[in-house]
Amino acid sequence: MGASRIQGITVEIGGDTTKLTAVLKGVNGEIRTTQSQLRDVNNLLKLDPGNTELLAQKHRLLAEAVRETKEKLETLKAAAEQANEALAKGEITQEQYDGLQREIIETEVIYVYNGGSPNGTSYGANGGGNGYNYASSKQYGAGGGGSTHVATKPYGLGTNSSSGPSYANRSSILIVAGGGGGGGIDNGTAHKGGDGGGERGGNGSGGALGGRQISTGSSPSENFGMGDYYSSSSAASSGGGGGWFGGNYGMYGQSGAGGSGYVDGVAPFTHNGKYYPAETEAGVNEGNGRAFIRYVECA
């Protein structure tokens, strides 16, 4: 999409006039290469999380990704200044100018979607699964909590939109805080839902599997972003929590499982003498996933 947005726009850099697509070709290639290497390192870290060489490579690649994105953004903003004058002179069209502005927005904007708390058997927004009560059997379910996520694309996690953070576009997702699974009651015995977050969400009381870093279903994309739910009203059920991969549902008064967390493309940093690692923590979230955001200037 990026190349088509800025097609035909020229910029002057160091006295030379050239097409913006040609100027950005190099940095876009660097960004793609860095992201590919990051995915490879992250996949290996799932097998060996404490490998110091891989962790060092990840930190270096994250720093490179920040530098490359900053370089691209500076080039785009310089082009935008020239584009203002070019538009006034009629040298570019309004469509070209608007496309450049969209390219800048996509490069610098991130989207934060808060997970919703479930309400009874109703799911929590952003990926929680529905629950169902079956009073005649004295079995009761609850909805799963939604996840909170940060991404470079809009819309809810797991959306089917081709422009949203779907399984196909999962590289646009930076952080996911998994939501907890719905609780259950079986003949007066209460069962707590599986916790959300971490590499692996907490299991439900009856053995429902928590979300992992890959799908536990029959296809690679199954349960991506969405807690599972039982689609029939023939028995009590509790929904899974939303997450990178959602938790599975619980049946017959047993609780649902929590969704997994996820971190990628986020650099660790030190602020006021405290080190903040880029990692996801298990056993924390009951109900919906949460995010605490503050602006920090880092050197």
Residue 10, pLDDT above cutoff 70: no
Higher pLDDT, 3 or 118: 118
pLDDT value of residue 71: 85
Residue 299, pLDDT above cutoff 50: no
CB 131 within 8 A of CB 166: no
Residue 113, pLDDT above cutoff 90: no
Higher pLDDT, 217 or 288: 217
Residue 296, pLDDT above cutoff 60: no
Q: How far apart are CA 20 and CA 10, in angstroms?
A: 5
Q: Which of 185, 199, 176, 289 is nearest to 241 (CA)?
A: 289
Beta bridge partners of 285: 196
Q: Which of 284, 139, 295, 155 is nearest to 225 (CA)?
A: 155
| pLDDT class of 1 with cuts at 50, 70, 90 | very low
Out of 219-223, 228-232, 236-240, 285-289, which region has the weakest mean confidence (pLDDT)? Answer: 285-289
Tens-digit pLDDT profile for residues 230-284? 999 999 999 999 999 999 999 999 999 999 999 876 666 666 677 766 666 666 6
pTM: 0.66
pLDDT value of residue 131: 97
Beta bridge partners of 262: 176
CB 152 within 8 A of CB 164: no
Tens-digit pLDDT profile for residues 48-94? 877 889 888 887 887 788 788 888 888 888 888 888 888 888 888 88
Out of 31-45, 94-108, 140-154, which region has the weakest mean confidence (pLDDT)? Answer: 94-108
Out of 9-18, 136-145, 237-246, which region has the weakest mean confidence (pLDDT)? Answer: 9-18
Helix axes of 20-47 and 52-89: crossing angle, nearest 10 degrees: 160
How many percent of the chain have pLDDT more than 70?
Answer: 81
Residue 163, pLDDT above cutoff 90: no
Helices and strands (H and E) in the chain: how many: 4, 13
Number of Cβ within 10 Å of residue 213's Cβ equals 16
Q: How far apart are CA 277 and CA 180, in angstroms?
A: 23
Sign of the alpha-carbon torsion through 86, 88, 90, 92: positive
Q: How far apart are CA 110 and CA 237, in angstroms?
A: 35
